[in-house]
Amino acid sequence: MTPNFFEAIPADLSEEVFDRIIESDSVKIERIVSLGHTSPASGWYDQGQHEWVIVLKGEAKIEIQDEGEQHLVPGSHLQIPAHQKHRVTWTKPDTETIWLAVHYS
């Protein structure tokens, strides 16, 4: 049976879920499932790889340092260059937000 990106979502979403789909030395593709989750209060993400994200279901807001906040809805995608500080400030609290994230060198 072919896997379906929208199936096998855990019933317990008290923590944000990160599922690796593919990983190599230069690329990581993952499904992220959020339900009212935001970035840790400790601050900004500062990643060593570029990241491209698309929201497939739900809604989210991402703040890019010195650029402001982006509101993402299904189909919205965003390119985040390596070391561009960013954080998730909001995800929809009453339905899952499902992301596809591609991290690459």
Query: What is the CATH classification number for the domain harbouring 40?
Result: 2.60.120.10
Question: Which one is predicted more confidently, 10 or 42?
Answer: 10
Q: Is residue 93 part of a domain?
A: yes
Per-residue pLDDT tens digits for 11-69: 999 999 999 999 999 999 999 999 999 998 888 999 999 999 999 999 999 999 999 99
Residue pair 14/37 in contact (Cβ under 8 Å)? The answer is: no
Residue pair 14/89 in contact (Cβ under 8 Å)? The answer is: no
Q: How many domains does the chain have?
A: 1
pLDDT, position 43 = 84
The reply to whether the predicted model has a pTM over 0.75 is yes
Q: Look up the domain containing 76 and give its range.
A: 23-104
Question: Which one is predicted more confidently, 53 or 2?
Answer: 53
End-to-end CA distance of the chain: 32
